[in-house]
Structure 1
Amino acid sequence: MTTPVRASELTGRGWLNTGGQELDLQGLRGKIVILDFWSFCCINCLHVLDELRPLEEKYGDVVVTVGVHSPKFEHEADPDALAAAVDRYEITHPVLDDPRLQTWDAYTARAWPTLVVVDPEGYIVAHLSGEGHVAGLTSLVEELVAEHEEKGTLHRGDGPYVPRPQPEGDLRFPGKVVALPDGSFMVSDTGHHRLVQLESDLTTVRRTIGSGARGWADGGPELARFNEPQGIAVLPGAVRSAVGYDLVVADTVNHRLRGVDLGSGSVRTIAGSGVQRLLDDARARGVDPNLVPETDPTDVALSSPWDLVWSDAADTLVVAMAGTHQLFSFDPRTGAIAVLAGTGDEGLRDGTAHESWFAQPSGLVQDVHGTVWVADSESSALRSVRFPQAATGGGEAADPAGDSGVGSAEGTPVVESAVGLGLFDFGFRDGPAGEARLQHCLGVTVLPDGSVAVADTYNGAVRRYDPATRETTTLTRGLAEPSDVLLDTGQEEPTLVVVETNAHRLVRVAVPKQAQTVDEGAAQMQRRRTPVAPGELELAVRFAAPAGQKLDTRWGDPTQLKVSSSPEEALAEGGGTAQGLTRTLRLAEGVTEGVLHVTARAAACDGSPDGEIPEHAACHLYQQDWGIPFTVDPAAPATLTLELRGLD
């Protein structure tokens, strides 16, 4: 038994979704409170928002979810940007604005997302990291309801949520745009869960595709349903003729790809089962998570596809699979789906496609050489994927910078970083590639001279990277979270069409002959670095199986830790993957700061904690990735404790 811990007060700059009311824990007494520590840049946090919706609806009279927004990027600390995100993701619970991470620190959160459960008497009963906890939360809520109804400490009734006024207009938080062969544009009207075809003036609506209601349904343009669609790709003519549809849409929250016939406006599901792909579920079953089964593509699990582009070099669609930090390939003609690049680890690591790391890739474009450029949002990086010379689709994959090394010796694609350093480095700085900084970029396009324009979303700017000189400049700024950018050559002079998401519109930007230069400095995530002692460091991850489950020890230790560091040389000992949730690490001599990358996982199955696991019991994998920025301090403790699933 542990001593009950009283929940800390909720402090921050202000509240949203409360009608202007300031909330405190005393006023929430009698309710089961779920604190959701999130940031609106984080794909895992967005997954949790959707996971919590059914639980909030089912237990709305006894459960109050409080989103504690604890920003990673500077832009996320802007109260207007947070308010827009609350509207964009249709959050229907109170949100505390915590820009100085006061409540984050009070609850010792170390990862986005983190969930903390507070019982009706104000005591912490669970501390959970990562996503995928809804089954356990549901079980815990039911236990708490029974316990506190018996004690008379549960108060049923409406919670403190008050909806905010919503913007009106043809578009609501549009995401991506493509040019259609007839000179019009198709826009993913993400906030309205539909597609909108606009005339060349960018304002006149020709038609809409999708009912406008959140959901999933195939059918005609009035019946089809999407769930926060994002990227759209126009298929090559020969492919369109072979498959019978013209566009492929990344239906992000449905975890599906949808095909759209421009003639009839009908929508069909072409890939994705609707079940979110979880890499560690495959690992728990002893299956290589980077192998996609050869089956009907609509039976394959995907995870938050965010953008798509047709690759001539690979003769297939490339899909930015933001939820697993990878690039996938999808061939509409055969239905074949495969992992194209990325191990599934979140971070920035270059190399061959199958050893590289991405961090929430969100924008794709192909250049004339066949190179695919990637807006890698969480690492604030511009990346490139270069294909071997022997391209199958007729595109020559030559290096735009003139280098000869296009692919690996085995003929696999190669991933390189043009701008960006990693998960916690960002800013607004022009200049040479090694010094330039972006901030959570979401879109890319190729300019007439072969340079790359980037929708630098959290800087409110469009930036330009020149592969020949490796210089970064600024084309325009002052935009409201631009999420995509597209070169339009249909005008007298080439222009950029920019999706200005938070202004709910598309705008044109001239392509200037010379770009202005900006240097507002580099920055790092404002989250405090964790002080650790030099030398040996004892790492421990706490995990407790939910009620009604027990650790699955039938084939040995069901827990695992994977540890690495940035820079790699910061960790002298203790790196790698091994069973168990404790590890002795040794920091290299002379290291003063860095980032520890920790992945913990544990397998538990339904069954009595004191009995055997039934033969056909359902089993569950709990997993979380942490990036822990640290600083070395001789006075700091030589221990680091993380919560995978802690129960108090």
Structure 2
Amino acid sequence: MSDSAPRRARVRAPELIGKGGWLNTGGRQYTLADLRGRIVILDFWTFCCVNCLHVLDELRELERKHRDTVVIIGVHSPKFVHEADHQAVVDAVERYGVEHPVLDDPELATWKQYAVRAWPTLVVIDPEGYVVAQHAGEGHAHAIERLVEELEAEHEAKGTLRRGDGPYVPPEPEPTTLRFPGKALLLPSGTFLVSDTTRHQLVELAEDGETVVRRIGSGTRGFTDGDARTASFNEPQGLALLEDGSVVVADTVNHALRRLDLATGEVTTLAGTGRQWWQGSATSGPAREVDLSSPWDVAWWNGKVWIAMAGVHQLWAYDPADDTVSVTAGTTNEGLVDGPGDQAWFAQPSGLAATPDRLWLADSETSALRWVDLDGAVHTAVGTGLFDFGHRDGSAGQALFQHPLGVTALPDGSVAVSDTYNHALRRYDPATGEVTTLATDLREPSDAVLVGGDIVVVESARHRLTRLRLPEEAVRVEGAAHRTQREATEVAPGALRLDVIFQAPAGQKLDTRYGPSTRLLVSSTPPELLRSGEGTGTDLSRTLELDPDVPGGVLHVSAMAASCDDDPANEYPACHVHQQDWGVPVRLIEGGANRLPLVLAGMDEPSMPGQN
């Protein structure tokens, strides 16, 4: 921080504790004392969370530029039961190219010590072991880099900065044909095209699903058009066949759609700029001039390429007739709300499957199977919200999935769901409203394609395609239901003061030129939890009335603030939109808190543990 910045009482950073131990350190266990003299950035993340994946990408350049002074420590803090499995964390660290140490904290011990409330959260610790900043959400890499530069200068002058190599030790590469494949497509030739996500390639496999026919892409992260050898991708996922015989690719971390000419192997860009979409960006227009955000899957439906835009919880579409993209459903609010497309809420839609009258989708963070009708309205077949998941067969109202990533239309009108975190293939039959289990012991299935009477499953964490005969009867498994491991905030019934705390970054001010610059949206699960206070308004503080007859639930809060550079001499100041969504589990008890403070990131001043 600069000398003119206000100082707060210094808070010693709590120790790093995680029952799962350390990854990417060559087996060494670390304490904060071992890192004294370095600037430490803690990244509280969980691998289901697309915002967390965005932060991993934001931090790559900072890691590279400040490798001799900064140590980034990922603190893996699970939401889903599957994410508490140590091997799943090991897989995720490799899958997403995490090149810094990771502390596996399955019991959320360090999360609680730092009073973290949201995924992702970044905490900055100075070389003397004191917390100097805390930011929730994504989009803070530039602010943190400025702080890092100030800390480098300050502690270099004090003699408390220690430069040198960091503790990161890369794992040994594994010689598998595929590495964490994402999606697959059956080509007209009978071969399979697979997105080899972690190796940033597409791989064509022979009809046996094992023999490599060709690889497309250089195999290194990049955003380059060209032939099969020189073109580059960045963690590609979804694949769909177009009417002209080419393939559209969801190039997820490049925030783009790419086109593959199957005959020549040539790769070109269909849509996206390579930049991530932010609030205030265009939501329609010429395809290569509009920013996208983590497109995860694609499907050809009703004359357009529909896009599961996981990064902003929406569905978009690319129209080849006029070479444009536009939003087709979703508000960017994260949750499960049905209705007309422009009012629906999604939560990381990650899998699509088209039938003549429905577009099915796997809505991963709500563990839901949903669909869009020909009028554009959104419906839910299975699933109840962000915090309920499990493995339970039965009627649609009782059945549970756990973070599904893929959905496949079956010939009889039913759909197969790649129930990723349950390691299972499930089936939903719209005619009966029943969910059954087709197969278990699949390691993180993320997609499946039909081949005659068989179904070929992408076993992402086993790095292979697995062929199964569709059974006549489901395999029965013992049901289980879960809620997230986050502890509920204890609040008093009745009046609860909600305060979203926002301070514009240094050198900026709230933008009030065109009216109110803030927005607050509040809802709850179940809806009966809120007697009053739900809805949208412009004040960042609001009094909610909680029904004492409802024992608890989740408050869904979405806040936005717009700020602009505070320079009267600048006729065209740069403006910034700050947005954060929270799902806050609450439990109503007498004597509980009557105020709920939430920090909307945007402050350059430090935020201490407990303030967020």
| TM-score, normalising length: structure 1 | 0.90
Find the aligned partners of 1:620 and 1:7 in 2 and give their Cα distance. 31
C-alpha change, 1:321 and 1:109, in structure 2 (3 Å) is same
- Aligned match of 1:350 in 338, 346, 359? 338
Equivalent-residue separation in structure 1 for 2:512 and 2:10 (angstroms): 29
Whether 2:437 is the aligned partner of 1:474: answer yes
Question: Equivalent residue of 2:334, what SS?
Answer: coil
Q: Does 1:250 align with 2:237?
A: no
- Could you tell which deviates more after superposition, 259-268 or 555-564? 555-564
Residue-by-residue CA offset, 1:158-186 (whole Å, 9 max, x unaligned): 11111112221221110000111011110
Question: In the TM superposition, what are the counterparts of 1:410-449 in structure 2 within 5 Å?
Answer: 412-449=375-412
Q: Following the alignment from structure 1 to structure 2, what is the Cα–Cα distance between the partners of residues 323 and 488?
A: 31
Q: Deviations over 1:603-636 (max 9, x none)?
A: 33344xxx74733332222211100111101121
CA shift for structure 1 position 556 = 5.9
TM-superposition CA deviations, 1:489-540 (whole Å, max 9, x none)? 2xxxx10100000111101011011112323221111111111111111122
- Indicate whether 1:527 and 2:486 are aligned: yes
Residue matched to 1:639: 595
**8 A contact 2:258–2:270 mirrored in 1:** yes
Secondary structure of the 1:145 match is helix
SS of 2:18 mapped into structure 1: coil
Given the alignment, which residue of 20, 31, 34 partners 1:27? 34
The structural deviation recorded for 1:548 is: 4.1
For 2:168, the equivalent position in structure 1 comes to 161
Alignment pair present for 1:308 and 2:315: no
1:333-362 deviations in Å (ceiling 9; x for gaps): 321212111111111111122211111011
In the alignment, structure 1 residue 108 sits paired with structure 2 residue 115: yes
Kindly indicate whether the alpha-carbon contact (under 8 Å) linking 1:258 and 1:268 is maintained by their aligned counterparts in 2. Answer: yes
Where do 5+ consecutive residues of structure 1 fail to align? 283-288, 388-411
Letter in 2 for 1:281: G
**Contact (CA 8 Å) 2:287, 2:318: kept in 1 or not?**
no
For residue 387 of structure 2, what is the amino acid of its counterpart? Answer: F
SS in 1 for 2:152: helix
Q: 1:555: Cα distance to partner?
A: 5.2
User: Within the alignment, does 1:584 sit opposite 2:543 as a pair?
Assistant: yes
Could you list the runs of 5+ residues in structure 2 that have no partner in the other structure? 1-6, 608-612
Whether contact under 8 Å (1:136, 1:547) holds in the other structure is: no
1:71 aligns with 2:63: no
Matches within 5 A, 1:532-547: 532-547=491-506
After superposing the two structures, state which structure 1 stretch, 581-590 or 64-73, moved more: 581-590
| CA drift at 1:588 | 2.4
Residue type of the alignment partner of 1:508: R
| Alignment of structure 1 residues 32-51 onto 2, 5 Å | 32-51=39-58
From 585, 594, 607, the counterpart of 2:553 = 594
Distance 1:464 1:640 in 2: 41
Deviation at 1:578, TM superposition (A): 2.3
Q: Which residue of 2 aligns with 1:267?
A: 267
Indicate whether 1:370 and 2:333 are aligned.
Answer: no
Aligned partner of 1:5 among 8, 11, 16: 11
Which of 359, 367, 373 is 1:386 aligned to?
373
Provide the residue aligned with 1:496 in structure 2. Answer: 455
Pair 1:292-2:291 in alignment = no
Compute the displacement of 1:554 (Å): 4.9
Aligned pair partner of 2:421 in 455, 458, 461: 458
Following superposition of structure 1 onto structure 2, how do residues 195-206 of structure 1 map, counting pairs within 5 Å?
195-206=202-213
Q: Deviations over 1:25-54 (max 9, x none)?
A: 111111111111100000000000000000
User: Are 1:325 and 2:313 counterparts?
Assistant: yes
Q: Percent identity of the aligned residues? A: 57
Equivalent in 107, 129, 154 of residue 147 of structure 1: 154
Residue by residue, what CA displacement relative to the aligned partner does 1:432-454 show, whole Å, maximum 9, x if unpaired?
Answer: 10111000001111222221101
Partner Cα distance (1:145, 1:308) in 2:
45
1:2 deviation in Å?
2.5
Match of 1:83 among 78, 90, 99: 90
SS at match of 2:63: helix
CA RMSD of aligned residues (A): 1.5
1:627–1:27 CA distance, 2 compared to 1 (3 A): same
User: Take 2:131 and 2:104, find their aligned partners in 1: how far apart are those partners?
Assistant: 21
- What's the CA shift for 1:549? 3.8
> Structure 1 residues 571-580 or 32-41, which shifts more?
571-580
Q: CA deviation at 1:120?
A: 1.2
Q: Are the counterparts in 2 of residues 87 and 166 from structure 1 also a CA contact under 8 Å? A: no
Mapped to 2, the partners of 1:376 and 1:356 lie a distance apart of 12
2:579 is matched with 623
> In structure 1, what is the equivalent of residue 3 of structure 2?
none
Q: Tell me, yes or no, if the aligned pair for 2:333 and 2:558 is still in contact at 8 Å.
A: no
What's 2:276 paired with?
Answer: 276
**Matched residue, 2:610:** none
Deviation at 1:74, TM superposition (A): 0.2
> Cα deviation per residue 1:114-156 (whole Å; 9 max; x = unaligned)?
1111111111111111111111111111111111111111111
- What do the CA deviations read for 1:350-390 (whole angstroms, capped 9, x no partner)? 112221111101111112x4211101111000101111xxx
Per-residue CA deviation, residues 550-597 of structure 1 (Å, 9 max, x unaligned), is 444555653332211112231122222223432221112412111111
Aligned length: 597
* 8 Å CA contact 1:139, 1:547 repeated in 2: no
Query: CA separation of 1:281/1:6 partners in 2, compared to 1, >3 Å: closer, same or farther?
Result: farther
- Shift of the 50–386 alpha-carbon distance from structure 1 to 2, 3 Å rule, reads same
What code does the residue aligned with 1:131 have? E
Q: Which amino acid aligns with 1:528?
A: E
Contact 2:548 2:588 in 1 (8 A): no
Q: Distance in 1 between matches of 2:250 and 2:495?
A: 46
Out of 315, 324, 338, the residue aligned to residue 336 of structure 1 is: 324
- What SS does the corresponding residue of 1:281 show, helix, strand or coil? coil
TM-score, with normalisation over the residues of structure 2?
Answer: 0.95
The code of the aligned residue for 1:432 comes to S
For 1:221 and 1:642, the matched residues in 2 are separated by 48
